[in-house]
Structures are given as structure tokens and as C-alpha cells.
Amino acid sequence: MRKLCTSVMAAVFLALFVFSASVEAAADRTPVSVTNARWYPLYHIAAPAGWVNDPNGFSYFDGEYHFFYQHYPYDVTWHPMHWGHVVSKDLAHWQHLPIAIEPDHIYDASGGCFSGSAIEKDGKLYLMYTGHVDLPVKTLDGADRIESQNIAVSSDGVKFVKIAENPVLYVPDVKGVSQSDFRDPKVWEHDGKYYVVIGSRTPTDDPNDRRSIGQVLLFDSDDLINWNFKSIMAKGQGNQGFMWECPNFATVDGTDVFIFSPQGVAPEGNKYLNVHQSVYMLGDLDYETGIYKHGGMTMLDYGFDFYAPQVLQMADGRVIMIGWLDMWESKFPEQADGWSCMMTVPRELHVIDGKLYTTPVKELASLRKSEVSYQNLKIKGSKKLDGVRGETGELIATIDTAKSKNFSIEFRSSGKEKTVLSYDAATRTLKLNRDKSGASAGVVGEREVQIAPNDTMKLQVFIDRSSLEIFVNDGEAVISSRIYPQETSQDIVFKAQGGALELKDVTFYTLGEGIEQPRFR
Ligand code: FRU
């Protein structure tokens, strides 16, 4: 208790100073705007301009999908977080709404309104988020920041009001729980009770100390306002990271799926090569004890850019996930154009034979405009197909892997510039190489995934100006990456290495606008 009081008092006291300073600084801020749309997505969620990171508050309210995101509208880099907001009737066409919440209270003013989730209660939409306060000195417990959970409510899904009871939840004074890192609440309802799972780590005096262990804390509540600590719901074992960010929880086809973003997992062979990871576990949550019994952790996406995904569980059981299609410590070349970062397409989750499958939601088909199709192609050397090209579009190809040898498909190619997806038949490995993709995102080289034995391989690829999302075999694996080619690099080139590349079918769709496009002054 003493520990808790010290932390809380220090936070409130220091935050008061920080708050007044930040209100002053905010006075003359003007939002940035997009100055060049060469890399701005045609149909993926992005902010009108400025900085974006994690998905937040993905929810369905009053007949519409609401999606929020970590946002800073006044600069292209990370600053104290606001929640940007878009809305859609069909998961394919999104419209911008005003910023939902911004850092303007003592519990969130200095660091911002960090990630969180949303839930409907009594006809109102509740956002639960982390208020982050940076402390200029450490508390007696060694905490250098205070993270508390807060609520903002809306009756119309547009205007949100922070409630007087905030913060509704402070870090519990429990042995083995860091007093500094306590963020990213994911709230859900089960049997008439509310539950929230929150990212945490074991205690450490130094936030840069990677020897702590990532874990998540579970709380329950009858009203979303008064919360009881229930358990350390799950905790890392071995190489599972020093801090677990952005926990998510949903029941997919009867299995309790836990999704989270562990920081600092060390590379293992061709796995965990990005700075931070997003992974899932399959298991069973015992609501009595609050303990999640689970299997091992598996990567959710095998590309260069995927983090902090958030899931939405619909009333009919359907579970949809959207992730941040970027990675911390990237160079974000689009910052030169007045904006930074974007989301993945919405993906539907299914558990099949003990494995999580992620497919693009079927609603994306409503973006399709024109279509060209080819059947039974046998390619020797290299080939471009009429109408199969573009800086945006959707490609679906079924490859006869029983008859084909090694092959590659080059996207956004000009010959000189290209992003190469290649398949090594001997090891059944798909590799994405972005060495020659255009402007550098900082990290180049390859990312790869091994595919299960099969006589065919289906690829469904979403191309959108500065991104590629490659879905393999209806969700067996996904490879998502940002790329920064010139607008004129638009070819798709099929190449057989050695023998022939046999394609059962190839379809290319041009796609229409899914997100409002930037207006130039
Ligand atoms: C993950 C994260 C979250 C935090 C947010 C701040 O990318 O670090 O843990 O809430 O970003 O923007």
C-alpha cells in the first residue's frame, strides 16, 4: 500500500507541472498535411496526415465499425499520443472522424493517451486506454513513469468525454509486478462480467533492462469503473520477451486465443528477426482462477512490418484483426511527405487443426473494379501478363507446386527496382526480399516462412502504393511489409528458375478507394 501511495502521489504532483507546460506548448500547434501522395494508401487505414502507431479501440457500435489508432497530428514523428478515429459500414470503405481523445488531463497530459480498447455498454461506447505520465525523477519504488487506465465515453460514437472517476485502475501492489509498465488494456465481457487484460513485466529498476519477463495481468469488474485484480494471467518462459505489449484476447472457433506483442524476443534461426514481435498462443482461460493454460507462441506475420494487432470479436463469434503495418525503429520514408505509418487490411481469424489462420476479410471484394484472368500458364524464363500490374491492386495466383521448381514473383518492378517473393522448392521456403524495393525503410534483406507440403500454393497479394501483404494458402502464413518504390515501378514479373513455373490460374483486380485521399492545398 505504501508503495502504491508513493507512486500515485509522485505522479499527481509531478504531472501537475508537466500538464501546465504541455497545455502551453499545445496552444500554437497546427496539424501537418500530406504534401505528396506517392506512398499514401488507396484502401488501407491511415491518418489524414501526421504520425500513426498501434490500432486502438476496434469495435462495432450502432451499426458501424469503429477503429482508432495512436496518433500525433502535429508532426510526422511520435509525440504525446492522441487517438485518431475512422469509421466504416463494411470494413472496406473508411471515413475519417475527428480525433477522439487527446492528452489533456493530469493522468495523460505528459506522455499521452496510450493504447487501449473499446466496448459497448448501455448503448454507449466506452474507450479504455492507458494514461502515460513520464516522471522527471524516480519514485521510491524505482518507477520512472506512471501508467494508469482511464475511460472516455460517447453516446454518438464521435464525441468522447473522459469520466470523473479516472484513473479507474492503477498498477496493483502485487509481488512480481513492475510499477512502471502497465499498459494497453483489452476489455471484454464474459457471462455478465467485464474483464481486462493489461501488458506488464516483472519488476526492474531500469526500463532498459531486458532481463525482466513479460507478462499480462487480469482484472474483473461489474461496471467498467471498479476493478479487482484477479491474476497474472500468463507469463513468459524462456525467450518470450522482457515486456508484453498490446495483449488481446478472443474466442476463435471455441479456442481462447491470446495475442500479444512481446518486446525483445531474440532471433531464433529465421524467426523473430524484427525489433519486436507479434505472436499468438492457443489455450483455455479459467475464469475462476484467472489462469490461462496455453501452448507455445507462434508468429502472426512473417514480414518486416507488423506490430500491435488488435482484434474485434463480433456478436456472431467472428473475429477480425487489424495490425500496424510498420515496425519500431524503421526509417519511415513517407515522413518526407507529411505522414507516417498505416494499418494492415482487416483479417479474419480461424483456428484449424491447432493453428491460427488469418485471411483477408471477404468484404474487401467490394473494392474490386476491373478483373483480368489467365488459366493454365507454363512459364519458362520470365513473363509479364497483360493487365497484371499496378501501384495498387489484388493478385490471386494458384501455383502448381508439384510441377513447378523454384520460382519468383517480382512486385512493383521497373527492372531495376523490385520487391522479390521467391520460393525454394527443396526447403518449401517463401522469402520476401526488399533490398531493391526503392527508398530504404532502414532494414533490408529477407524475411521467410516455411510452408507445409502441398501440391498447390495459393497466393493472395494486396498491393497498395507502399505496402505488400501476401496471404499464403488461405491464411496458413502472411508476409506483410512496407516498400517505397517509385510510382512508375508497376510491373509484376513471374520468373521460373531452372524448370517451369506452372500457374493454374492468375487473377488481377484493380481496386477502388477505401480511405479518403489526401487533399492538396
Ligand atoms: C506499442 C506501444 C504501446 C503503447 C503505445 C504508445 O507499440 O508501445 O505499448 O501503448 O505504443 O504509443
Cβ(54) – ligand 1 distance below 6 Å: yes
Q: Give the mean pLDDT of 376-380.
A: 97
Mutate to test the pocket of ligand 1, among 115, 127, 322 (most ligand atoms within 8 A of CB): 115
Cβ(168) – ligand 1 distance below 6 Å: no
pLDDT tens profile 453-476 = 999 999 999 999 999 999 999 999
| Residue 54 Cα to ligand 1 middle (Å) | 6
Q: Give the mean pLDDT of 218-239.
A: 98
pLDDT tens profile 187-211 = 999 999 999 999 999 998 777 788 8
- What share of the chain in percent tops pLDDT 90? 89
Lowest mean pLDDT among 206-210, 309-313, 394-398, 460-464: 206-210
Contact by Cβ (8 Å): 421, 446 = no
> Which has more pLDDT, 8 or 408?
408
Cβ(184) – ligand 1 distance below 6 Å: yes
Active site residues: 54
- What share of the chain in percent tops pLDDT 70? 94
pLDDT tens profile 75-99 = 999 999 999 999 999 999 999 999 9
Cβ(246) – ligand 1 distance below 6 Å: yes
Q: Give the mean pLDDT of 129-141.
A: 89
pLDDT at 11 over 70: no
| Separation of alpha carbons 276 and 428, rounded Å | 25
User: Taking the complete model, does pTM exceed 0.85, yes or no?
Assistant: yes
Q: Say what the pLDDT of residue 520 is.
A: 74
Q: Which residue pairs from 361-366 have beta carbons closer than 8 angstroms and sit at least 24 positions apart in sequence?
A: 361/91, 361/92, 361/320, 363/90, 363/91, 363/92, 364/43, 364/91, 364/92, 364/394, 364/462, 366/90, 366/92, 366/93
Confidence at 521, pLDDT banded by 50, 70, 90: low
